Amino acid sequence: MNLYDIDVKDMQKQDVSLRDYEGKVLLIVNSATRCGLTPQYEGLQALYEKYHDRGFEILEFPCNQFLEQAPEDNEGIKSFCQMNYGITYPQFDKIEVNGEDAHPLFAHLKEVKPEDKENKETKGFLEKLKELNQERKGSDIKWNFTKFLVNRKGEVVERYSPTVTPKELEEAIENLL
């Protein structure tokens, strides 16, 4: 399967072909509005503002699978993100990223990149997930704000742990642009 063969839905539940993003560098992220990592929205918006004019897009997919930390409907999520973080990049319909009902996009991303690239905070974060009885196995998305970096050819070049901040991605993004 090719990434560009996948369709998603925008926040108004209209079909969007990922082919619309062909030739761009993409950062695909699952998100949540009520998570300890929610402040990463600020960093994501900063990346978008810095690199969008050079062919960079962020595709954000809210997900309520992790302790129900994205309980709002699409309109509530969009409003929260705009009011609190000034989000202007594309946000999409809330989806599931793990299990039988995982969206085909995330099933594809996990198949291509089954392991996270980590940073120094990842180990402590994974220990905390164990304590919360939220440990994930195999290629499962571990938590909100897992990020996938995609080159202009639609190839997934890296998968980043939720603790990897948007700022830490700048060099990798620069290299692809």
pLDDT < 50 positions in the chain: none
CATH code, domain carrying 23: 3.40.30.10
Q: Catalytic pick from 25, 35, 47, 109?
A: 35
Which distant-in-sequence residues (6+ apart) come within 8 Å of 34 by Cβ? Answer: 69, 70, 71
**Per-residue pLDDT at 118:** 73
Buried b (16+ CB within 10 A) or exposed e, 91-110: bbbbbbbbeeebbebbbbbb
Number of domains making up the chain: 1
35 flagged as catalytic: yes
**Per-residue pLDDT at 130:** 61
- Residue range of the domain that includes 15: 3-176
- β-strand pairing of 15-17 with 7-9: antiparallel
Amino acid letter, 60: E
**Per-residue pLDDT at 129:** 63
